[in-house]
Structure 1
Amino acid sequence: MFKKTKFIPALLLTVVAGSITLPALAAEKCPIDQRKSRAVSERVGKKVQKAYELYSNEQVDEALGVLLEIKTSSDFDKAYVSRMIGSLYAGKDGKVDTAMKHLKVAVDINQLGGSDHGNAIKLLADLSISERKFDDALKYYQDWMTFTCKEDVNVYLRMASAHYEKKEYKPAISFADKSIALQKRVNKAPYSLKMGAYYETKQYKNAAKIAEEIVRLFPQEGRAWVQLAQMYMLGEDYKKSLYTMDVAFRNGFLEKASEYKMLAQLYAQNEVPLKSAQLQEQYLKDGLVERDVGAVSMLANTYHQAKQIDKAVKFYGEAGELSGNSKHYMRQAGLLMERERYGEAKTAVRKALDGTGLKSTGEAQMILAQAHFYLDEFKSAYKACMAATKDSKTAKNAKSWLSYIEDTAKRKKVSVR
């Protein structure tokens, strides 16, 4: 039985970023440093303090009630209170839109102290991306970088995410690279994003290069090996795809039926049909892949390709039983004729004639006629051959066989009529 293990699926973030110009970090003094801290008015300050105390005691609704009742008389007080309200709503389920409305008020007034203003912009950006308002998110992240003169690994990744969602794959890759460059601790997300962007633009060889890097950094993640094999396969590098998928298989990283099927397909494509067929037979036996018509038919075809005729005969018959389709019985009958198993061939052909989807009745009758003939059943052979003459596809050949059958029967002193 095959070994099965669970693995954590690779996180393919939807990320992308637009072309923004980051302020020079070592240039003039940053806006955040020029923004002096200020205090709210005494009247507002008392209510804000009460709200802080309620919040500290996990009485969020009560704290919001106090803040919402505040009547401000200055823009600064309004911005300060709005930022607090927005921050509290941001932590409540279903209140993101309300949080964004209050935070936007605070940001647009543009009078908060440096840290408060920067945090408000960043929170507004984060909430925008969570609500799939990607253009707004990109604008606010850019505003945050301009205001703070900071680069941030997660901000770059989120900007990449926004662009990816907008199908702007080139900037997605660019900002994923910036996120990677700032990493102090390796995070797979930007690598997965780059791979996804190359995949979406059908740059499969580039996608494979990123997948190789992911495997190098996270060799124990089974999904990474499977994705690498998939990228190789899409890039038509079937040898590397087989090698990689085989490594994943031997390490117990395969879990999905489609992955076992992919490995079997790769063996066949790399001219190792016997191994492919043996793998298919085993995973069907173990129940890792559903034993349906498609799977059994593929198994029969692969054994046929591997010249394992007896096995192919067996599974073509099973496929026919599952489907009732004549094509499987016709293939089985043809192989039985090759093996000179004429009695079994007759049975298979009759099932084909009784089945569905038979393309040529004449072809079936010709096989039946030949099977009877080689068993010296000349009268039955002649009858089947006569039936084959009624099919335009086989009429000419059937007429030739009629004469042959009559001559042979005559020599053996057997009547065919």
Structure 2
Amino acid sequence: MKKFNKLTSALVVMAALGVAVAPVSAAVQPNMAKVEERKARKTQIVGERVGKTLVKAYELYNADQLDEAIAVLLDTKSSNEFDMATLNRFLGNLYATKDEKQAVKYLTLAVKPDQLTFNDQAGTMKLLADMLLQDKQYQKAIKAYEDWIMFTGEQSSDAYMRIANAYHLMAQYDKVVPAADDAIRFSAKPESNHYLLKMGALYELKRYKDLVAHSEIMVQIFPENKQFWVYLGNFYTLTEDYAKSLSTLQMAYSQGYLEKDSEVRMLAQMYANNNVPYKAATVMEKHMKEGLVKKDKNNVTFIASNYQSAREFARAAEYYGELAKMTNDADAYRRQGSAYVSVQKYNEAIAAFDKALSLNVEKPSTVYMSLVDAYFNQKKYKEAYAALMNAKKDPAMSRQVRSWESYIKDKAKQKGITL
């Protein structure tokens, strides 16, 4: 990580060390004195009749006779709140394996009187919250998880994560962030899913500066996660920090983290955006030859134009030629010819210009003017003059034609050439 342009703000350092950086107060603040009272309350025992029913239902359940076990429980009633809460708890647990709505019904009946033992009440409340979430009753699920935290006094990372997920599923992204923060803060160790959920919410909220800061933390805490580097490189572009985008993607690339066509193309594009056209072209070229990047019109054009910008004209001409073969495009031949002129390969340039003209290139007068240059540099004044006369047909070229016409005539006269 030393090569990376370190993003070590105080926030990043604390996060990397596992120090809490979220606000001091969690979303839910249990009364711990009341929690201790609940834990200390007297344990009750079900009545004999209900006890026998529970044993029978449990035996049927163990024999894979779920419906029969449920029927036995449904047939049993009691005037005792604890007994009924226990029956409903068992029913809720059985229904949880087959019918979410029925599970919610009986689990709700089980927890409502608050008669179960502390552990049974806590477990039932948690299962109820899970069933509500599974049944897409998101707002009720959030309330149920908060009730469970208040009851148990347990600041559970998992519960806050589920609350955050429920808000996410309701597209209430502003509420996802603080819940995800609590999930992160109360986790025994960093969990990537917690960070991803917050990242997604910040993106949806278009809080791009916060998104970048959060993603910087993610790559510090999870440096081995390849995708997080790609995310960060992408997110820098949202704040138009293209230099940091490039440095991040370079680091990811050097570690072998860019494995997809889109990721390599993003790196190449960042080189281009940061005025490093040679690297833009060579990165794309390397991976196109290896087969990772598709050899198509757009990618070949990218390589050619970036070699052109890097003044690697011979290589630009090669790729414009590739493009021309792929597309039979007149402009590709024109560009190839211009690149050849730059390296004084005039015969190759003339062939490319002629091909462009044969394909009815747009603005042929500009191609004729390029032919003038190529022929003149070969001292082929007659051919240069003929090309100039074709260019002269375009009134927009009159000024350039005038400056060349007398010059070519003079040179031809000196050499005794009749135009």
TM-score (norm 2): 0.79
How many angstroms does 1:370 deviate by? Answer: 4.0
Q: State the secondary structure of the residue aligned to 1:307.
A: coil
> Residue 90 of structure 1 is aligned with which of 93, 96, 100?
96
2:212 aligned with 1:208: yes
Question: Given the superposition, is the C-alpha separation of residues 359 and 138 from structure 1 closer, same or farther in structure 2, using an over 3 Å criterion?
Answer: farther
Cα distance in 1 for residues equivalent to 2:38 and 2:365: 87
Q: Is the 8 A contact 1:32 1:115 kept in 2?
A: no
| 1:158 matched residue in structure 2 | 162
Q: Which has the higher contact order (CA 8 A, sep 6+)?
A: 1
> Residue 244 of structure 1 is aligned with which of 248, 251, 255?
248
Could you tell which deviates more after superposition, 365-374 or 400-409?
400-409
Question: Given the superposition, is the C-alpha separation of residues 321 and 98 from structure 1 closer, same or farther in structure 2, using an over 3 Å criterion?
Answer: farther
| 1:361 matched residue in structure 2 | 364
- Give the number of aligned pairs: 394
| 1:307 matched residue in structure 2 | 311
Q: Which runs of 5+ in 1 are unaligned?
A: 1-18
| 2:188 matched residue in structure 1 | 184
| 1:195 matched residue in structure 2 | 199
1:285-300 equivalences under 5 Å are: 285-300=289-304
Could you tell which deviates more after superposition, 103-112 or 317-326?
103-112
Could you tell which deviates more after superposition, 41-50 or 403-412?
403-412
Cα distance in 2 for residues equivalent to 1:247 and 1:20: 36
2:32 aligned with 1:26: yes
Cα distance in 1 for residues equivalent to 2:355 and 2:111: 78
Cα distance in 2 for residues equivalent to 1:81 and 1:392: 97
Q: Which runs of 5+ in 2 are unaligned?
A: 1-24
> Residue 123 of structure 2 is aligned with which of 119, 123, 128?
119
Question: Given the superposition, is the C-alpha separation of residues 363 and 90 from structure 1 closer, same or farther in structure 2, using an over 3 Å criterion?
Answer: farther
How many angstroms does 1:295 deviate by? Answer: 1.2
User: Which amino acid in structure 1 is aligned with residue 364 of structure 2?
Assistant: T
Residues 170-214 of structure 1, C-alpha deviations (whole Å, 9 max, x = no match): 332212222222222222222222333333333333223222322
How many angstroms does 1:318 deviate by? Answer: 1.0
Cα distance in 1 for residues equivalent to 2:404 and 2:102: 86
> Residue 348 of structure 1 is aligned with which of 319, 328, 352?
352
| 2:139 matched residue in structure 1 | 135
Question: Given the superposition, is the C-alpha separation of residues 79 and 325 from structure 1 closer, same or farther in structure 2, using an over 3 Å criterion?
Answer: farther
Question: Given the superposition, is the C-alpha separation of residues 80 and 408 from structure 1 closer, same or farther in structure 2, using an over 3 Å criterion?
Answer: same
Cα distance in 2 for residues equivalent to 1:217 and 1:80: 45
- Percent sequence identity is 38
Cα distance in 1 for residues equivalent to 2:374 and 2:27: 80
Cα distance in 2 for residues equivalent to 1:393 and 1:109: 91
Cα distance in 2 for residues equivalent to 1:187 and 1:204: 22
| 1:328 matched residue in structure 2 | 332
- When the two chains are superposed, the root-mean-square deviation of aligned CA atoms in Å is 3.4
| 1:46 matched residue in structure 2 | 52
Question: Given the superposition, is the C-alpha separation of residues 334 and 22 from structure 1 closer, same or farther in structure 2, using an over 3 Å criterion?
Answer: same
TM-score (norm 1): 0.80
Question: Given the superposition, is the C-alpha separation of residues 362 and 136 from structure 1 closer, same or farther in structure 2, using an over 3 Å criterion?
Answer: farther
Q: State the secondary structure of the residue aligned to 1:252.
A: coil
Question: Given the superposition, is the C-alpha separation of residues 260 and 193 from structure 1 closer, same or farther in structure 2, using an over 3 Å criterion?
Answer: same
